[in-house]
Amino acid sequence: MFDFQTGGLKPALTEALTTAGLTQPTPIQTQAIPFALEGHDVLGLAQTGTGKTLAFGLPLINNLLDMPGRPAPKTAKALVLAPTRELVNQIADSLRTLTDKTKIRIGTVVGGQSINRQINMLSRGTDILVATPGRLIDLMDRGAVDLGTVRYLVLDEADQMLDLGFIHALRKIAPALGTPRQTMLFSATMPKQMEDLSRAYLNDPKKVQVSAPGKAADKITQSVHYVEKPGKPAKLRDVLSEDPGAPTLVFCRTKHGAERLMKGLVADGYKAASIHGNKSQGQRDRALKSFRDGDTNILVATDVAARGIDIPTVAYVINFDLPEVPENYVHRIGRTARAGREGVAVAFCSAEEASLLRQVQKLMKIEIPVASGTAPTGPVSEQKPRRGGGRRRGGGGGNGGGGQKFGAKPNNAGAAASKKRRPRRRHAAA
């Protein structure tokens, strides 16, 4: 059984772990770290909040401590790719707590920040480069970074990178990396495209799976409120009033919807902030800091924040809109009940979202308990769940509020009329 103190880690790492109060490895760390220390490629599957960063970070730093010499200008010895700016910054911060008393340098490159500053950082070389794929491609195209010396590659939250359309960037980055190299791929879900990715980038990997893909943490209490779209804001305020001041993440499907909801909450006296793709990096950082510090207790977000937010105090996750990609539900609710804590996940489901809820329950292999309202029973116009990248606007609302029955018969008059054959237009000859 792997142990931090006797598992072969360098003294600098064991000391850093002790200082951080980390004494016992999590299940994913117990299984993945020994394989990684031995030099194997690793495919790690585990729920969010279970310590995947240290599962690859500890063996990565341990191996780098054995590599002599400083990195040459524009080069890196290890590359960690993550899908969002927030996750890149979170990974880098976690790794820096382990390298504080070593000579290992960690650099980050993400979009939304000064590319010239990042070019200057890379010009000095770095041991570990943590990056989003898009900005890394920009720097490669400018000749600002040479990845030929990279001997360690980590793909964190690889399934979301696929979902956000980063596969083409990965295909451009991979050939530029040095060989031979060790590759570690970590994720909380395992869609079929991820299997293809693992076959393409991993060499005879050791597969480590500590929970079924799509399974949420055991200490998350889940429930669903059936409520039509117009009734969701009132239902949200009802839920918030049950535990005023508790750190709460509220997820919306669209950027405009998230911003509108946040402004409505602020107007009603709630301490709320928002984070989504229309915000600058500075605005996103300030919103996260305000939420982390407790200055605001409600953070309204799109799926840009479904991963990369590691705030242990989050007590509630509310799915104001259900996600179109069912795996994203798992990542959203994984923002609570982190590091062994308990948490609550609440979902709002309108008639149009019924198919999305069914897909979530199918993925998780559970029936989410109903807290209020009645599930639709009649034919309804539903949003189709999707997988993969792209964006789609959310469906319209209905006529009711929380607890109202829905599934009323649709008006088919317009549909019937649209089926009537229209006279064919004749185009004049040129």
Ramachandran angles phi, psi of 163, nearest 5°: -65, -35
CA distance 318 to 357: 14
Boundaries of every domain in the chain: 11-209, 220-405
Ramachandran angles phi, psi of 318, nearest 5°: -115, 120
At 215, is the pLDDT very low, low, confident or very high (cuts 50, 70, 90)? low
Strand order of the sheet with strand 370-372?
272-275, 298-301, 248-251, 316-319, 343-349, 220-226, 370-372
Ramachandran angles phi, psi of 82, nearest 5°: -140, 155
Tokens 């690859």: give the residue. Answer: 56
pLDDT greater at residue 308 or residue 427: 308
Report the pLDDT value the prediction gives residue 164, as an integer from 0 to 100: 67
Instruction: Work out the mean pLDDT of the chain and round it to a whole number.
Output: 84
Which long-range contacts (C-beta less than 8 Å, at least 24 apart) are formed by 208-211?
Answer: 208/28, 208/31, 208/32, 208/35, 208/42, 208/43, 208/44, 208/45, 208/46, 209/44, 209/45, 209/46, 210/27, 210/28, 210/31, 210/45, 210/46, 210/47, 210/50, 211/45, 211/46, 211/47, 211/50
Q: Average pLDDT in the 109-122 region?
A: 94
Give the Å distances, CA to CA, from 32 to 35, 57, 105, 199, 233.
Answer: 6, 11, 24, 18, 43
pLDDT greater at residue 414 or residue 185: 185
Residue 48 pLDDT exceeds 80: no
pLDDT tens digits along 294-327: 999 999 999 876 666 778 889 999 999 999 988 8
Other residues' Cβ atoms within 10 Å of the Cβ of residue 234: 11
> Which of 137, 158, 123 lies closest to 331, judged by CA?
158
pLDDT tens digits along 238-253: 999 999 999 999 999 9
In the chain, the N- to C-terminal Cα span, in Å, equals 82
Would you identify the CATH topology of the domain 220-405? Answer: Rossmann fold (3.40.50)
User: Would 11-209 and 220-405 be classified into the same CATH topology?
Assistant: yes
Tell me if the pTM is above 0.75: no
Q: Do residues 75 and 146 lie in contact, with contact meaning Cβ atoms separated by under 8 Å?
A: yes
Contacts of 12 (CB under 8 A, 6+ apart): 65, 101, 102
> Which of 3, 5, 6, 11 lies closest to 102, judged by CA?
11
Tokens representing 325 are 């990609």
CA distance 314 to 337: 8
Report the pLDDT value the prediction gives residue 339, as an integer from 0 to 100: 65
Q: Average pLDDT in the 367-378 region?
A: 89
Contacts of 418 (CB under 8 A, 6+ apart): none
Contacts of 347 (CB under 8 A, 6+ apart): 222, 223, 224, 225, 318, 319, 322, 329, 357, 360, 368
CA distance 76 to 146: 8
Residue 181 pLDDT exceeds 60: yes
pLDDT tens digits along 319-355: 999 999 888 898 889 888 876 688 999 999 999 999 9
CA distance 343 to 340: 10
CA distance 313 to 9: 30
Q: Do residues 177 and 79 lie in contact, with contact meaning Cβ atoms separated by under 8 Å?
A: yes
Q: Average pLDDT in the 160-184 region?
A: 88
Q: Average pLDDT in the 197-219 region?
A: 80
Q: Which CATH superfamily is domain 11-209 in?
A: P-loop containing nucleotide triphosphate hydrolases (3.40.50.300)
> Is the bond into 180 cis (omega within 30 degrees of 0)?
yes
Residue 416 pLDDT exceeds 60: no
